[in-house]
Amino acid sequence: MAHHLAKGDVARDVIRDDLIADTSLPARPSHFCQPGSLNKFSSTITQDLSQGGSQSMLYAIGLRDHEMDQPQIGIGSVWYSGNPCNSHLLELSENVKKAVKDARMVPMQFNTIGVSDAISMGTTGMRFSLQSREIIADSFETIMSAQWYDAMIAIPGCDKNMPAVLMAMARLNRPSIMLYGGAIQQGRRQVQPGASGIGKKDGRIDINDTWDAYGAFVNQTESAEGFRDVIRNACPGPGACGGQYTASTMATAAEAMGMSLPGSASNPAGSPEKLRECAKTAEAIKVLMEKDIKPLDIMTKPAFENAITMTMLLGGSTNSVLHLLAIASSANVDLSLDDFHRISAKTPLLADMKPSGNFYMTDLHELGGMPAIMKFLSSFGFLNGSIMTVTGRTLAENLKSAPSLPQDQVAIRPATNPIKETGHIRILYGNLAPGGAVAKITGKEGLEFRGKARCFDSERDLMDALDRKEIKREHGNTVIIVRYEGPKGGPGMPEMLKPGGAIQGLGLNDCIALVTDGRYSGASRGFIIGHVCPEAQDGGPIALVKDGDEVVIDSVGEMIDVLGVSEEEWERRRKEWVKPPLRVKRGTLLKYAKLVRDASHGCVTDLAEDW
């Protein structure tokens, strides 16, 4: 053992001169950590005689002498039992642990918190969802740095989990791989659908249908028995939402960036392919360490452009804008709303995926998975194949061995026959959103919407109005404004899936547009605009809109304006506006509200404007 003293050695000769550790550049006494060693971080505590206490603690957890010289791999999962997206991640972590140990490395498992969006949706619990991204990123960064692990394998399962672990990887910049927990299988109706038609086409249903079913039940187009049938059967087991919702969007974005192994985004939860991925991840992390390939070698501007492009091509979630901006901030990559605007303008929508289409991630897996899809899309020149990936090879090199899509498949269209010629995610500006807003418009809803404003100061107020059936078709086109739900005002920028689903179920989706300074679930559909900046809590124009104001939303002209309000009237409203107190007085949400930047900057908290 290198840490044993030979006769005549002097302890002080092998004790580090620097007593304060720098986690980015650890001291590595040449006596103990040879050039090219894979334990260059963990050697700080395993090979230094002055760290005897550290070594004693490691012996206490079962390490043996020969393992003190091996690299330590942090295996971090976002496991908790209360959510199908995450409930199976402990099993994946155990499989990775075995594979890491078989590769003669030391597995160090750890865990962190999670929030189930689908469980907290429509309640004040949803305020904690987006800010959990910051806690997860901070906790991964904390344990990896404090414990001096040499590399990281992260196992996330739900939307905020994935950007969080990628943010931590960028901050740490040690060899890292993301292993996505995988998508859920679809549920099936057991009761004949009512007039709502939910699940009528092929019997398949998912979590999104539960929100539509509520509106249909209120509208009496779905019976109580049918409503309960949807709820009971929508989620048949473990895995994250199976449409191109936020979880699948971020898993796809990570794979397109090169931060997960080929097929990770499309290998379903519980599948043999997902279990084999665990072993492959252990092999790949060793390659990254041997080649000294780190996250910032992979997370370059072209990699982020690949991620945005894939999001546009597959009809991904608007939450990708928040998350990719935040990851880029951690990676010190210059990414802004302008990049989303630029890429959206030249990228068609090609995938017929839920929530607005017909297919799920499990369907894509049957077609050859994400490697086959990326190979197909690369043939049209959409992706940059030169980017480095966690395999130690470029994306183009990975795709050479990928299968081809079946000739008769209809889930992914060729570039010559798009669903929409430009991206469905549009960045809008105007007097309602001078700092920008994010729209999700597939074209099926139309490309422009005009209507009279109906304003609500909380999501709850809107839901109460929908329950009372106060919003009717005979009122004409209505632009529903939901404000004070932004990063600070919410606080936490809650998602608006519940009212959106209720509007769908009530059959009002063709005469209502939803506008909010909050955000939307990836499962949301319809004419929806979120991330309005500045938010109402900061006195943005969305706080000054009044019932009856005419609002125009033009996705082609990329504009959102209140018409007929003069500058003098805007100024009068500004003077009359009184900033409301924050909804929280203490705790984690207060810290978040005080630190968070606006949605156009990714809602990050480690680069707050007043620091």
Q: What is the pLDDT of residues 151-167, one digit of tens each?
A: 999 999 998 999 999 99
What band does 27 get if pLDDT is binned at 50, 70 and 90? very low
How many whole angstroms separate alpha carbon 46 and alpha carbon 38? 13
Q: Which residues pair with 554 in a beta bridge?
A: 448, 559
Q: What is the mean pLDDT of residues 235-255?
A: 95
Tell me the C-alpha distance between 511 and 528, whole Å. 12
pLDDT band (50, 70, 90) for residue 609: low
DSSP state of 480: E
Q: Which CATH architecture has domain 425-601?
A: 3-Layer(bba) Sandwich (3.50)
What is the spatial distance between Cα 162 and Cα 160, in angstroms, rounded to a whole number? 6
Q: Provide the pLDDT confidence category of residue 214 given band limits of 50, 70 and 90.
A: confident
pLDDT at 25: 45
Read off the DSSP letter of residue 195: T
E strand residue ranges, 7-77: 72-77
Residue 168 CA to residue 255 CA, distance in Å, equals 17
Computed from CA positions of residues 501, 82, 142, 1, in that sequence, does the dihedral angle turn out positive or negative?
A: negative
Instruction: Please report, for the chain, the start and end positions of each structural domain, with discontinuous segments joined by +.
Output: 11-69, 72-184+240-400, 187-233, 425-601
**72-77 sheet: strands from edge to edge:** 106-111, 72-77, 151-155, 176-178
Q: What is the pLDDT of residue 611?
A: 55
Residue 94: is its pLDDT beyond 60?
A: yes
Q: How confident is the model at residue 130 (pLDDT cuts 50, 70, 90)?
A: very high
Q: Is the bond preceding residue 541 a cis peptide, omega within 30 degrees? A: no
Residue type, 240: A
Residue 356: band (very low, low, confident or very high) from pLDDT cuts 50, 70, 90: confident
CA distance 608 to 597: 6
For the ranges 302-306, 411-415, 519-523, 574-578, the lowest mean pLDDT is seen at: 519-523
Lowest mean pLDDT among 11-25, 42-56, 98-112, 376-390: 11-25
- The CA distance from 283 to 274, in Å, is 15
- What percent of the chain shows pLDDT beyond 70? 93
Six-digit token string for 568: 């003098």
* Residue 557 one-letter amino acid: G
What are residue 438's phi and psi, to 5 degrees? -120, 125
Checking if the pLDDT of 36 tops 70, the result is no
Instruction: Give dist(CA 541, CA 539) in Å, integer.
Output: 7
In this structure, are residues 401 and 528 in contact, taking their beta carbons and an 8 Å threshold?
no
pLDDT at 19: 32
**Mean pLDDT lowest among 84-98, 176-190, 597-611:** 597-611
Give me the mean pLDDT over the 10-18 stretch: 33
Active site residue 521: yes
Say if residue 496's pLDDT is above 90. Answer: no
Q: Which two tokens stand for residue 584?
A: 């929280």
- Phi, psi dihedral angles at 329 (to 5 degrees): -60, -45
Q: What is the pLDDT of residue 522?
A: 67
Task: Name 270's Cβ contacts closer than 8 Å, sequence gap at least 6.
Answer: 88, 182, 237, 238, 239
- SS (HEC) of 532-550: EECCHHHCCHHHCCCCCCE
Report percent pLDDT > 90 for the chain.
Answer: 79
* Residue 18: per-residue pLDDT: 37
Residue whose C-alpha is closest to residue 315's, from 354, 345, 270, 342: 354
Q: Which pLDDT does position 57 carry in this prediction? A: 97
- Helices and strands, number each (H, E), in the chain: 21, 14
Catalytic residue among 120, 129, 521, 555: 521
Q: What is the dihedral of CA 80, 81, 87, 90, to 10 degrees?
A: 60
Q: Say how far apart CA 457 and CA 178 lie, in whole Å.
A: 39
Burial of 114 (0-12, 13-18, 19+ CB in 10 A): buried
pTM: 0.92
- Both tokens of 573, joined, read 């409203």
- 143 in Cβ contact with 78 (< 8 Å): no
- Report the distance separating Cα 167 and Cα 274, nearest Å: 23
107 Cα distance to chain centroid: 26
Q: What is the pLDDT of residue 14?
A: 32
Q: Which residues contact 458 (CB under 8 A, 6 or more apart)?
A: 482, 484, 485
CB 41, CB 150: distance < 8 Å: yes
Rounded Cα distance between 301 and 384, Å, is 11
pLDDT-based confidence at residue 208 (cuts at 50, 70, 90): confident
Rounded Cα distance between 117 and 277, Å, is 26
Per residue in 569-602, pLDDT (tens digit) is 999 999 999 999 999 999 999 999 999 999 999 9
Q: Name the phi and psi angles at 481, rounded to 5.
A: -105, 120
- pLDDT at residue 386, as a whole number: 98
With contact defined as beta carbons under 8 Å apart, do 147 and 51 qualify? no
